[in-house]
Structure formats: C-alpha cells, structure tokens
Amino acid sequence: MNNAIRDRESERGSAGVKFAITLAIIMLVANAGYNYVPIAYEAESVKTDMQTAVLQGIALPGKLNPVDNVKERLQKTFAVNHVPPNVIMDVRQIGNSITARVAYSKEVSILPFGIYTYSYVFDHTATPSGFLLKQSS
C-alpha cells in the first residue's frame, strides 16, 4: 500500500510547474505596476496642480491677466510631470471664475517586449471651488 502512494507518476513535478507559473504571473503583474503607477501618479499630480493654478488664478490681485498666469503655471506643471508635447490645454475665463481643461494620452507598456501597450487617456477640467468663488459672486 505504501508503494502505491509513492509511485503516482502523474503527480511528480507539479510543484515546480505551479511555482514557475505563479512566479511568471507575479512578474507580469509587477512589470505592469512598475510601468503604470508612475504614469497614473503624474496624472494625479497634474490634476492637483491644475486645481491649484485655477484657484490661484482667480485670487490674483492687480492688473495681471489670470488666464495667462494659469497657462504659465500649467506649462511648468507639464514639464515637471512629463506630459507629452501633444497636450491640449484650454484655459477660459467665464465671469469671475476660470476653467482649465487638459487632455493628452500616453502609451504604457503593460506586458513586456511590446506584447500589450495601454493608451492612458487623461482628460480633466478644473474649476475653482471654495471661499474665493463664494465671495466674488
């Protein structure tokens, strides 16, 4: 009876194969995360900087043009956050508030060797909110 349990040839080597498959899947997920997370982080940084630029644009004192100021701040943000040069930026002043829309797309290599490339599309519109907007209305 003991020999029958030891001699199951169909079960031999399965632990190594399962380990190799699991390791390959973990490596693919780690590669995807390594390539995707920085792009998503930069996009969230652009969103935050857009919100800040729009809010500071309506709070400008004096005779400075708020639309030009917001565009200048966004250009600096694009350089820091590696935004591609084909970015679409639209900054408008509507009444006492300013809105800024930024759209671009970036290619992200999800699977190694160019097997699958994801097109990350960023399209965000920032509008001011808070006490500055309530006072100026």
What pLDDT is stored for residue 57 in this prediction? 87
φ/ψ (deg, to 5) at 12: -75, 135
Q: Label each residue of 96-130 as H, E or C.
A: CEEEEEEEEEEEEEEEHHHCEEEEEEEEEEECCCC
Query: Domain coordinates of the chain in residue numbers?
Result: 10-136
Residues 38, 26, 120: CA angle, nearest 5 degrees: 30
- C-beta of residue 74 within 8 angstroms of C-beta of residue 88: no
pTM, to two decimals: 0.80
pLDDT tens digits, 21-49: 999 999 999 999 999 999 999 999 999 99
Classify residue 76 by burial, with Cβ atoms within 10 Å: 0-12, 13-18, 19+: exposed
What pLDDT is stored for residue 97 in this prediction? 86
Average pLDDT of the chain? 88
